[in-house]
Structure 1
C-alpha cells in the first residue's frame, strides 16, 4: 500500500494595506531593470505559469456554478513543481504537462531555476509591498528522505524541513496548524482537521500579500449601494468611489472594460467588467495572449470608479481538479515518487488550496493622498467616464517584476464570504 503524502496549498490573499515585514528568503542580486530579458529564469517560466492559471480557472469554473472564485495559480504551480523534484517516469511527465511545461523546450533544471528566481524576487525585502511566499515539509520521523531531494527543495524552493511525530496525529495536526496560522498572520486557523494514518509527509505552500493602492479610496466616500447578481437579483454592498485618472481599455471584441488599479511597488491589479450577459464570453477568452493585449492597450483616462469593498474566501480540492485536467498518476498507486525517499512508496492522497481576499479603501493610519481628493468638476470639461463594478467581474493580481499572476478570481457576490 502506498503511504500518503498530504499536499496542502495554503495562502492568504490580498489585503489592501501597507505594512513592511522582514522576509526570510534572501534578496536576489538580479537586476530588476532587465526583467524583459528572455533569458532570465523567471521570464522563461512565466508563459507556462500563465497557461496553467487560465486552464485551472476554467476547470474551477465548471464546478463553481454561480459562486465566487479566488485562488493563487502561482502557489499551486510552485507546490507541484517542488513535488516534481521527486517524481519520475510518467508521473513526472504528467505533472509537467499539467503545469504546461514542455520537456522538449525546457530542461527540468531550468524549470526549478525559474521558480527559485520567482521566490527570490517576490520576497525581496526592499520591495514596497509585503509579499511572503514559502514552503515547508513536515516529515514523518520514520521517513528517510533522499539527500538529493531534500537538498533540491531547500536550494530551489527555500523549503523548511520539519520532523514531525505522525504516530501522534493530534500533535502533528497541532504543529502544522500552528505553523500555518503563524505564516498567514492568524488568518487561516485549524486548517488540517485529520490526517490519513499512512501520512508520511505534509507539504505546505503559502503566499501572503499586502499592498497599498497607489491611489487610495477615501473612506468618507464609501456608501451602501446595489450590486446586481443577475438581471433580477441584487444585494446591498459598501461601494468605494473615486474620481481619478487610471489606465483603462475598452475591449469591443469581448464587450468588457479593463481597469488597472496599481499598488505601490511593482504589483498591479486588473479589474475586468464584462457587459451584462458577456461574462462567459470573456471567461472563454482568458488566455495569456488576451491579458497581454489588454496590458498593451491600456490608456490613461480620468474616470469615476466605483468598486465594492469585500472580503471573500474560497477552498478547492486540487486533487479532484488536477485529475480532471489529466494529472492522475501522482494520486494513484501507480505514482512514481521514488526520488523523494528511500525504500518508501509514496502517492499524494490530498491536495487542498484555500485563499482569502480582502479589498478595502486602504490600510494606513492616515494618507495624504486620501486627503487630497479632488471632487469639484469643471463645467468646461465633459464628465468623466463612469465605470461601476456593480455586477460580476474578474480580478487579477500581477507581479510585474516576475511576470507572475499571483491571484486570479471572479467576484459574483461580494457579500458571500465563504465558498
Structure 2
C-alpha cells in the first residue's frame, strides 16, 4: 500500500508583557456587519464564528497530546503546535471513510454525537481564515500543502474541498528522485516559515504517494518589552543535581498573576501586541508532575479567572528551543490506529483504499527574547504601588502556553526543562 507522510510544522519568534483576561472579541466585525445587507448579516456572523465550535475539542487534544509526549520524555524540553497538528489531521479526515474517519476525529477529541463532520470542517475553514487575517499587530500564518506523486489520481472533489476549506496548495512531485523531491518540499517549508524550519523531510521513501504539510508561523512582540540592558546571567536549577547559567530577562511592573495553592504553582500572564498572550507556569520544587497531570482546559480556565493585577519583579530566561516529533506512536495511543495500517480507508482521496500514513513528523521552533515594539510604545510610563513588588523568577523548569485571543485557540504548548538545550 503506498505511503502518505504527514509533515506538521511550526515556527515561532516570541517576546512578552502583562495583559487582561481572555479578551472579548464579539465586536470584531461590528463595522463590517453594520454595512452588510440585513439578510446576509446573520449568516455572516454565523460563518465567522464557526471556529468557536472547535475550541473545547482542540484544547482537549492539545493537553492529551502533551500528556503523551511528556510521558515519553519527562525530562526534556517540549514544544509543539496543537492547532497545526489538528488542522492537518482534520484535512486528512476529509478524505477518510468508515472507522478510519471516526478514529481520526475522535482522536482529535471531537464528540461526533455533538458535532457533525461538516461542522468540524467548516470550523477549521473559519479558524484558518481568522488566523490569517491581514492587518493584525502580530504576524501569524497558518497554511497547508499537498505534494502528490506524479500520475497519482486524486479525486477532483477532494482537491477542490481542501483548497476551499483548508486553503491548501497542491504540487506534483517525482518521489522516485528522492533528493529533488526532498529539496522541493523543504524549500517550500523553509520559505513559508521564513527560514525557521529547515530540512523537515529526510530519508524520503521513493514509494511515497503523497506528503501533506501543515505549517504555522508566529511572530509576536511583547506589549511591554524587556530592556536588554537588564538581562543578566543567573542560575537556573534544572534538577537537584544540575544548575546552569542562563541569560535572565528582567522587568519590574504590573502583571496579571495567580498562585495556585492546590497545585503549588505560579501563573503569570504576558501579552503580545495584538490578540496573542502567553501563560508562564512555574511549579514549586518537586511539583512539576502534579501540575502536568492537572494540565487540562478546566485548569487553564480556572487560572484565567483567578488572575489578579500585581506588582511583580519578574525574571524570565531568554532562550531558544526546538523539537522534532514523530507523532505516530502518540496518536496510536490516542486511538488513531487504522490510518497507519493496511486497514486504512482514505478512499475519499483517490476513490480507492490504496493509501495509508507511514509517518507523522512535527517540527517546532521557539525563540523568546526581549524584543518588543520600536520607539514610543517602549517608553510608556507605568505607575507602580509604593509596596515592595513580589519577586517571581522562572529559575527552574516551567510550562508555557500561547493563545490567540480572537479565536480562543491554543497555538503552542511547551515545557522548558533546560533553557540551554537546543
TM-score normalised by the chain length of structure 2: 0.91
How far apart are residue 100 of structure 1 and its match? Answer: 0.6
Gaps of 5+ in 1: 18-28
Change (3 A) 1:415 1:256: same
Gaps of 5+ in 2: 17-26, 34-44
- Could you tell me how far apart the structure 2 residues matched to 1:32 and 1:247 are? 29
- Tell me by how many angstroms 1:81 deviates: 0.5
Per-residue deviation, 1:238: 0.2
Q: Which residue of 2 aligns with 1:148?
A: 157
Counterpart check, 1:402 vs 2:411? no
The structural deviation recorded for 1:101 is 0.7
Question: Within the alignment, does 1:157 sit opposite 2:183 as a pair?
Answer: no
Are positions 1:367 and 2:375 aligned together? yes
Deviations 1:189-221 (A, max 9, x none): 222122212211110000000001011000000
1:289 aligned to 2:294? no
Retained in 2: the 8 A contact 1:32–1:401? no
Q: Is the counterpart of residue 388 in structure 1 residue 387 in structure 2?
A: no
Are residue 6 (structure 1) and residue 5 (structure 2) matched? yes
Contact 1:13 1:407 (8 Å CA) reproduced: no
Residues 25-75 of structure 1 show CA distances to partners (whole Å, capped at 9, x for unaligned) of xxxx972899x9999311111000000000000000011131101000001
Deviation at 1:302, TM superposition (A): 1.3
> In the alignment, does 2:87 pair up with 1:89?
no
How many aligned residue pairs are there?
A: 401
Alpha-carbon distance in 2 for matches of 1:231, 1:292: 32
TM-superposed deviation, 1:232: 3.2
1:114 aligns with 2:123: yes
Q: Are residues 1:134 and 2:133 paired? A: no
Say if 2:164 is the partner of 1:166: no
User: For 2:160, what is the secondary structure of its paired residue?
Assistant: helix
Cα distance in 2 between the residues matched to 1:32 and 1:272: 35
After superposition, residues 257-296 of structure 1 pair within 5 angstroms as 257-296=266-305
Tell me the CA shift for residue 303 of structure 1: 0.6
Tell me what 2:20 maps to.
Answer: none
Q: Distance in 2 between matches of 1:290 and 1:77?
A: 21
Match of 1:300 among 286, 298, 309: 309
- Map of 2:355 onto structure 1: 346
Match of 1:25 in 2: none
Query: How far is the alpha carbon of 1:84 from its aligned partner?
Result: 0.1
Partner of 2:39: none
Shift of 1:255: 0.8
Structure 2 match to 1:358: 367
CA distance in 2, matches of 1:37, 1:255: 41
Q: Secondary structure at the match of 2:241?
A: coil
In the other structure, the counterpart of 1:73 is: 82
Provide, for residues 227-269 of structure 1, a one-character-per-residue CA deviation record: whole Å limited to 9, x for no partner.
Answer: 1111232110000001111111111111111100000101101
1:415 positional shift: 0.2
Aligned to 1:53: 62
* Compared CA separation, residues 32 and 315, structure 1 to 2 (3 A): farther
Residues 87 and 344 (structure 1), Cα distance of their counterparts in 2 relative to 1, 3 Å cut: closer
What TM-score does the superposition give when structure 1 sets the normalisation length?
0.91
2: CA distance, partners of 1:333 / 1:207: 31
Match of 1:271, SS state, is strand
Partners of 2:416 and 2:300 in 1: how far apart? 18
SS in 2 for 1:12: strand
